[in-house]
Structure 1
């Protein structure tokens, strides 16, 4: 059995901006996002022995971050639910955070790392970078709805309730997000690949 892949603090620092951006979209708060990203990096350092290399380091860190976000939002929900019905000034982001559903899960790459060739691994990383750039190019609320559905695994009614949007608005936002991602990927990925 081979040893787990090695990584160091520089590898974590290289992924910090991605973690921060994801947390910012999910929480809607820059300070909270910074705290959660830092907690994620500290947890990774404390538990580095648990990283077995079955997924990419980035996937592992995002799984930790997703759990940190879930914990934060559950805590916030417990402490703010008393005022949720009486506060007419609660912002959309706070509504979302107060109602966060923890049933979502992070989707790892389709092919386990140990079964991919180096070429597949490189191509996958390059595609993920392009996809992430396209995703972060979406308007923030559109990215949030899309990520709740496709990355966090929420059901449509939960997203509608948490984001305070109608069913029609949800489906419109999802359609626009998918269309924008399709166009972006077509331009930035598929048009630049060599035919196989």
Structure 2
């Protein structure tokens, strides 16, 4: 289903807008729609091609077969319709911009929540280590503590690597789909990572004998 920005007739008009930029084949049009909606809308061939056929029937679009590829281009009549509905097209583009901004906000919130969770896990682990150290005589448990420390180091490495991989995947996927990555998102990530680093430093300092 098309997102709310493509109400009745909007997709038809936006197809003309895309073809007004440059002639395009069907897959290219589908990819352009995916990119410009920040990945929120990927139409099927069954959605796009019938609309292109209708536009051709109305004389607003022509098609040229080049080998196995069919290239669609806007006609003068199509440009005239675009010009007559410029206000409608502007409203559609504003809706698409709102959709992309919403995705950027969701990415920023996801990063913040992930960092809060990581800081909480680290703080809990540090508290548990301090409680365990107090219950066990140091002379008797020194060897076990070192083994446990190495195991916890591996856990920490795994948590950091998993977080890094997840955030990188989310950000790269978002940008690859045409989404905007605002400077405020990166700044928020940098601050959250800095806060987490300080939290780890404080926890390690408190755990020193």
Please give the TM-score of this superposition, normalised by the length of structure 2: 0.25
If asked which structure has higher relative contact order (CA below 8 Å, sep 6+), I would say 2
- Which has the larger helix fraction? 2
User: Considering only CA atoms, is the larger Rg found in Structure 1 or Structure 2?
Assistant: 2
- TM-score under structure 1 normalisation? 0.26
